[in-house]
Amino acid sequence: MSGESNIVYIGRKPAMSYVMAIITSFTGSDAKDITLKARGRSITTAVDAAEITRRKFMKELNVGKITIGTEEIQQEEGGTRNVSIIEITLTRG
């Protein structure tokens, strides 16, 4: 989880780690929505974490908005490459 209370950055940890971060974000503050941000291979983990949280733990959550796109990443060897990104907003409903 990040320093910003309503954004969870998804990386290489197991999906359940992010599920706990989502639940903690909602219960630790009176946030109305949480945004999951992932890119590349972490996109599947973001979708899994969102669905596990919605279906098993917090059934009142809804998917508010899904944004997809592409970022250009600078490579160490020089040049750039395109990486897919996703932002999933979960809202308490």
* Two tokens, residue 34: 């949480």
Strands annotated E in 1-93: 7-9, 33-39, 61-74, 80-92
* pTM score, whole prediction: 0.88
Locate the domains of the chain by residue range. 7-92
For residue 1, give the H/E element and its range.
none
Q: What is the pLDDT of residues 53-79, one digit of tens each?
A: 999 999 999 999 999 999 999 999 989
* Two tokens, residue 29: 């503050």
Q: What is the pLDDT of residues 26-61, one digit of tens each?
A: 988 888 999 999 999 999 999 999 999 999 999 999
**CATH homologous superfamily for the domain 7-92:** Alba-like domain (3.30.110.20)
